[in-house]
Amino acid sequence: MILTRKFAVLFVIICMAFTSGIVAANPLDKDRQVMVMGAQKDFRAAAEGKLLVFDTFVSLDESGNMVPKLASSWKISPDGKEWTLFLRRGVKYHDGTPFNARAAKFTIERAMTSAVWGKYVDAIKIVDSHTLKVVFNTFYYPFLRDMSSGWRAANFVSPSAVDPAWDPKGKIVRYIGTGPFKVVDYKRDRGATLVRNNDYWGKKPKLTKILWKYTPDPYAQILALKAGELDIIGAPEHHSSIPFIKLAELEADPDFVVSTHSYGRFQVLEFNCRRPPFDDVRVRKAFNCIIDRQKMVRSLFGNITEPSYLITDPKFIWGPSNITTGYKYDPVQARNLLTKAGWVDSDGNGILDKDGKDFEVDLLVPTGEANADMVALVVQSQLKSMGIRLNIRTLINAWDKRKTGEYDLFLHHSGCLPSIPGGIGIGGKYHSKGWPYAFHSDKLDTLIESAFTSLDKVQMRARCDEIWTLLHNANPCIPLYDIIKAVVMNKRVQGFKHGPTMFDMDLTEVVMTR
Q: What are phi and psi of 233, to 5 degrees?
A: -130, 155
- Which residues, including other chains, have CB under 8 Å from residue 467's CB and lie 6 or more apart? 424, 444, 447, 448, 451
What is the nearest approach in angstroms of another protein to the Cβ of residue 424? 12
Q: Which of 59, 178, 215, 240 binds another protein (CB under 8 A)?
A: 215
Q: Apex CA 209: angle with CA 254 and CA 46, to 5°? A: 85
Task: Answer yes or no whether residue 96 interacts with another protein by CB under 8 A.
Answer: no
Residue 246 binds to another protein (criterion: CB under 8 A): yes
Provide, rounded to whole angstroms, the least separation between the CB of residue 344 and another protein. Answer: 24
Taking CB under 8 A as the criterion, the residue among 66, 195, 245, 344 binding another protein is 245
DSSP, res 170: P
CA distances from 258 to 165, 261, 424, 485 (A): 44, 10, 33, 10
| Binding window for another protein (CB under 8 A); candidates: 6-14, 51-59, 202-210, 423-431 | 423-431
Determine which residue in the list 73, 137, 299, 346 makes contact with another protein, applying CB under 8 A. 299
**Cβ 170 vs Cβ 154: under 8 Å:** no
Give 44 or 209: the residue with its C-beta nearer to another protein.
44
DSSP category for residue 197: -
For another protein, the closer CB: 224 or 281: 224
Angle CA(278)–CA(357)–CA(275) in degrees, nearest 5?
Answer: 25
- How many other C-beta atoms are found inside a 10 Å radius of the C-beta of residue 424? 28
Using rule CB under 8 A, residue 429 touches another protein: yes
Taking CB under 8 A as the binding criterion, the range among 188-196, 307-315, 329-337, 346-354 that sits at the site for another protein is 188-196
Minimum CB separation from another protein for residue 482, in Å?
15
By 3-state DSSP, what share of the chain in percent is helix, strand and coil, each rounded to 5?
A: 30, 25, 45
Concatenate the DSSP letters of all residues of 92-156 into one string: B-TTSPBP-HHHHHHHHHHHHTT-GGGGGEEEEEEEETTEEEEEESS--TTHHHHHTSGGGGGGG
Q: Which of 21, 348, 356, 368 binds another protein (CB under 8 A)?
A: 368
- Do residues 409 and 361 make contact, with C-beta atoms less than 8 angstroms apart? yes
Q: From the CB of 80, what's the least distance to another protein, in Å?
A: 19
Instruction: For residue 402, give the H/E element and its range.
Output: helix 398-404
Single out the residue of 373, 368, 426, 440 nearest to residue 399, CA to CA: 368
Per CB under 8 A, the list member of 27, 68, 216, 350 interacting with another protein is: 216
Q: Which is nearer to another protein, 195 or 220 (CB)?
A: 220
Q: Which of 427, 443, 469, 509 binds another protein (CB under 8 A)?
A: 427
Q: Does the footprint of another protein cover residue 224 (CB under 8 A)?
A: yes
Quick one: DSSP state of residue 99? P
Contact between 229 and another protein by CB under 8 A: the answer reads yes
Cβ atoms of 83 and 143 within 8 Å: the answer is: yes
Cβ atoms < 10 Å from Cβ of 82: 17
By CB under 8 A, name the one of 84, 97, 131, 419 that touches another protein.
Answer: 419
Rounded CA separation 241/247 (Å) = 11
- The residues near 157 (Cβ < 8 Å, ≥ 6 apart) are 54, 107, 110, 172, 175, 176, 177
Q: Which of 126, 281, 374, 470 binds another protein (CB under 8 A)?
A: 374
- Binding part of the chain for another protein, among 11-19, 55-63, 99-107, 432-440 by CB under 8 A, reads 432-440
User: Candidates 204-212, 240-248, 322-330, 335-343 — which segment interacts with another protein by CB under 8 A?
Assistant: 240-248
Decide if 266 contacts 308 (C-beta within 8 A). yes
- Answer for which of 2, 4, 171, 458 binds another protein (CB under 8 A) is 171
Task: Tell me the window of 75-83, 334-342, 419-427, 449-457 that interacts with another protein (CB under 8 A).
Answer: 419-427
173 binds another protein, rule: CB under 8 A: no
Q: Is 238 in the site for another protein (CB under 8 A)?
A: yes
Nearest to 42 by CA among 263, 240, 237: 237
Residue numbers 493-512 binding another protein by CB under 8 A: 502-503
Tell me how far apart the alpha carbons of residues 64 and 461 are, in angstroms, rounded to a whole number. Answer: 14
User: Per this entry, what is the length of the chain?
Assistant: 514
| Interaction of residue 294 with another protein, rule CB under 8 A | no
Which part of the chain contacts another protein (CB under 8 A), choosing from 39-47, 51-59, 127-135, 302-310? 39-47
Selected from 59, 100, 107, 149, the binder of another protein by CB under 8 A is 149
| 322 is an interface residue for another protein by CB under 8 A | no
Residue numbers at the binding site for another protein (CB under 8 A): 44-45, 47, 114-116, 149, 151, 171, 188-190, 213-221, 223-224, 227, 229, 238-239, 243, 245-246, 249, 299-300, 367-368, 373-374, 377-378, 380-381, 392-397, 399-400, 403, 415-416, 419, 423, 425-429, 433-435, 502-503
